[in-house]
């Protein structure tokens, strides 16, 4: 009997493989009929940039689909459900935890990646006080759209990656650098979900008064047909986190200000991490501050920054606009390995970065370039070219790096400016610290330098791949009452590290911690030990990048995912949950 089974196994496997290929071919034909042949990618070379994460995560898929309308997105979803495929919705693919790409193997069905970047419409409503953002709309587009209204979005240029989508931020509860606005959050969204009976349904909670069938509602959105008189403005739902200002000021509370598993900020699309197919969200915008000053602070005593944070949050007449921390080591890595990106943003502006990244991906995917320059050819070439560029940081900023270990960039507005002056003068009177008020070019340089830091770590790994095992990247939220915020690693862990990069959103007590590990170190073991250390400090993690495939979703977050997606159709495996139909266990 055993011999019979062993002889039959290859034939059964061959039949299954043939059936799978036939089903996949039928699906691809159906997808081409919906979005057009050029927007269904099936070759390995064409799919690669959609199947590999910005920093981590990679896997294969049957096809990458790029719909050009919300109706096409709905029909694509229907075709994928009918073919019993797993679906991964993806926008800019700038996430740092691999949550918008396939991840390795272990899926029990074909995976289809739906990239939404062609769906980039933004519709201001209520005189620009709110906006409707479609799946591919980016923060850059939103900033540009709101400028004539004197308004700003929840987040401005991202702290960790450049070119991020608005809906990606909402789905991941991304925090951003702006102290007063909290995590990206809305209770107003339109999305598709699969019911527990295997049917696709459209849920419209935008409050725009749209009526009709799913396709009729989506056609109206495609045309931008939004009647102001039909918009509901008092339906008991929020389009931003209305209570964060009060929340972050409570500096004696033993819990973090914001983190991804916070159940008070998980609502339908918000925090959904790809477990829903989100077509559009409705968001508040914010009046742009016109009278602002940026203060560049340096100290060798972290207690001074602890006191500074508590004073600004407890006593300030208004909260800082932003407060970005940089340790000297992170400053140094960014100054060397983020120099070309700094110059690119300075010269080209942020609008052209997506095009730059597309060309970079095509260059890296060229077999010829890989033969000439080895792995990561674009990073190696750009790093070599960056050494030819002149120094890029203003003299006073470079001087503070020489004098101080801990650096902080604080942006204040209106009555907060005088408060900052007097508070900083009192804090550093005779102490081991100092500050200066930035000129406009210095302020731009300081924030831009801070924002290229995370990408600099990735560049370091690419250029020094022979010496680097990998990067362990954590984003953590410390309790609001934590005073010992500077980390001290055990000696045996310190020995495994080439560089530790600490940077983050200081007033929210959210820190990004990147550990560039020596060749031969075990990144998984290192990361698990880090989790234990963080648990001992009562930290929450991840704080704002979401779990992706790096972190294990906490029970309350995993329960939220199951509630949204009862059949595990969308983004299976997120948060190290099951990749299988109906949330089955691999052991079943």
pLDDT in tens, 338-350: 999 898 888 877 6
Q: How confident is the model at residue 38 (pLDDT cuts 50, 70, 90)?
A: very high
pLDDT band at residue 158, thresholds of 50, 70 and 90? very low
Say which residues have a Cβ less than 8 Å from residue 443's Cβ, sequence separation at least 6: 294, 411
Task: Please report, for residues 46, 110, 375, 432, the alpha-carbon distance to residue 61 in angstroms, rounded to integers and kept in the order given.
Answer: 11, 7, 23, 55
Q: Is the pLDDT of residue 5 over 80?
A: no
**Is pLDDT at 425 greater than 90 in this prediction?**
yes
Query: What tokens does 67 get?
Result: 């719909």
Residue 583 gets which letter from DSSP?
G
**pLDDT band of 358, cuts 50, 70, 90:** low
| pLDDT tens per residue across span 323-337 | 999 999 999 999 999
- What is the average pLDDT value for the chain, to the nearest integer? 90
**Distance, CA of 57 to CA of 97 (rounded, Å):** 7
DSSP per-residue letters across 451-505: HTHHHHHHHHHHHTTTTEEEEEEEEEE--TT----S----HHHHTTEEEEEEEEE
pLDDT of residue 516: 97
Q: Pick 120 or 25 by higher pLDDT.
A: 120
Residue of 248, 269, 80, 53 whose CA lies nearest to 169: 269
Residue 355: pLDDT band with limits 50, 70, 90: low
Mean pLDDT confidence for 279-304: 96
CA distances in angstroms from 110 to 74, 89, 105, 304, 476, listed in the order given:
19, 14, 11, 55, 34
Please name the residue ranges forming H helices in 256-327: 302-315
With pLDDT > 90 as the criterion, what percentage of the chain qualifies?
A: 76
Residue 360 has pLDDT above 80, yes or no: no
- How confident is the model over 186-224, as pLDDT tens digits? 999 999 999 988 899 999 999 999 999 999 999 999 999
Mean pLDDT lowest for which of 161-170, 243-252, 504-513? 161-170
Judged on CB neighbours under 10 Å (0-12, 13-18, 19+), 302 is: middle
Q: Give the tens place of pLDDT for each residue, 520-565.
A: 999 999 999 999 999 999 999 999 989 999 999 999 999 999 999 9
Q: What was the pLDDT predicted at 51?
A: 95
Give the neighbor-by-neighbor strand order of the sheet with 122-125.
122-125, 130-133, 277-284, 189-194, 200-204
More confident residue, 17 or 163: 163
Pairwise CA distance, residues 261 & 477, whole Å? 11
Q: How far is CA 307 from CA 224, 334, 411, 476, in A?
A: 50, 27, 17, 21
Q: Are 169 and 154 in contact (CB under 8 A)?
A: yes
Q: Read off the pLDDT of each residue in 68-88 and give the average, rounded to a whole number.
A: 97
* Nearest to 357, CA basis, from 39, 80, 29, 117: 117
* Partner residues linked to 299 by β-bridges: 406, 433
- Return the structure tokens found at 64: 């990458």
pLDDT of residue 36: 97
Round to whole Å and give the CA distance between 559 and 90. Answer: 22
Q: In sequence order, which residues have a C-beta less than 8 Å from that of residue 395 and are 6 or more positions away?
A: none
**Confidence bin at 4 (pLDDT 50/70/90):** very low
Predicted local distance difference test score (pLDDT) of residue 432 = 84
Is the CB of residue 488 less than 8 Å from the CB of residue 550?
no
pLDDT band at 403 (very low <50, low <70, confident <90, very high): very high
């Amino acid at each position: 009997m055993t011999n019979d089974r062993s002889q039959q196994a290859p034939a059964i496997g061959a039949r299954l493989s043939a059936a799978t290929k036939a089903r996949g071919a039928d699906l691809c034909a159906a997808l081409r009929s919906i979005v057009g042949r050029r927007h269904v990618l099936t070759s390995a070379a064409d799919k690669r940039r959609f199947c590999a994460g910005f920093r981590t995560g990679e896997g294969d898929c049957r096809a990458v689909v790029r719909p050009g309308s919300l109706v096409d997105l709905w029909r694509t979803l229907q075709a994928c459900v009918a073919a019993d495929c797993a679906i991964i919705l993806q926008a800019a693919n700038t996430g740092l935890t691999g949550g918008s790409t396939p991840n390795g193997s272990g899926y029990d069905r074909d995976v289809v990646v739906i990239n939404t970047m062609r769906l980039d419409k933004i519709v201001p409503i209520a005189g620009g006080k709110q906006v409707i953002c479609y799946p591919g709309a980016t923060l850059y587009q939103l900033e540009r759209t709101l400028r004539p209204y004197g308004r700003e979005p929840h987040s401005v240029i991202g702290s960790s990656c450049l070119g991020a989508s608005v809906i990606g931020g909402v789905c991941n509860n991304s925090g951003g650098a702006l102290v007063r606005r909290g995590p990206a959050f809305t209770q107003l969204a339109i999305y598709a979900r699969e019911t527990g009976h295997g049917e696709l349904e459209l849920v419209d909670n935008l409050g725009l008064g749209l009526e009709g069938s799913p396709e009729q509602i989506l056609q109206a959105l495609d045309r931008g047909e939004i009647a102001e008189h039909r918009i509901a403005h008092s339906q008991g739902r929020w389009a931003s986190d209305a209570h964060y200002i009060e929340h972050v000021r409570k500096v004696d509370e033993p819990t973090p200000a914001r983190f991804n598993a916070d159940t008070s900020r998980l609502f339908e699309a918000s925090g959904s991490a790809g477990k829903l197919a989100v077509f559009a969200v409705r968001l508040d915008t914010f009046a742009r501050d016109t009278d602002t000053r940026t203060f560049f602070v340096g100290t060798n005593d972290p207690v001074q920054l602890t006191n500074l944070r508590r004073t600004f949050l407890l006593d300030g007449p208004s909260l800082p606009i932003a407060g970005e921390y940089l340790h000297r080591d992170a400053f140094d890595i960014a100054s060397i390995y983020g120099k070309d990106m700094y110059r690119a943003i300075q010269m080209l502006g942020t609008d052209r970065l997506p095009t730059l990244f597309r060309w970079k991906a095509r260059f890296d995917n060229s077999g010829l370039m890989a033969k000439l320059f080895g792995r990561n050819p674009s990073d190696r070439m750009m790093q070599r070219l960056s050494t030819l560029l002149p120094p890029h940081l203003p003299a006073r900023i470079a001087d503070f790096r020489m004098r101080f270990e801990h650096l902080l960039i604080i942006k204040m507005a209106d009555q907060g400016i005088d408060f900052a002056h007097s508070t900083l003068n009192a804090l550093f009177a005779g102490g081991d610290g100092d500050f200066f008020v930035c000129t406009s070019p210095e302020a731009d340089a300081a924030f831009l330098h801070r924002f290229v830091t995370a990408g600099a770590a990735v560049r370091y790994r690419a250029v020094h791949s022979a010496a680097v095992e990998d990067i362990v990247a954590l984003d953590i939220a410390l309790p609001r009452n934590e005073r010992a915020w500077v980390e001290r690693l055990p000696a045996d862990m310190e020995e495994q590290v080439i560089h530790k990069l600490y940077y983050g959103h200081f007033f929210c007590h959210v820190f990004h911690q990147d550990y560039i590990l020596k060749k031969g170190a075990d990144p998984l073991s290192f990361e698990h030990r880090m989790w234990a250390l963080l648990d001992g400090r009562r930290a929450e993690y991840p704080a704002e990048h979401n779990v992706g495939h790096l972190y294990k979703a906490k029970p309350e977050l995993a329960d939220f995912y199951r509630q949204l997606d009862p059949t595990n159709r969308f983004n299976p495996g997120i948060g190290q949950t099951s990749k299988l139909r109906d949330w089955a266990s691999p052991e079943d």
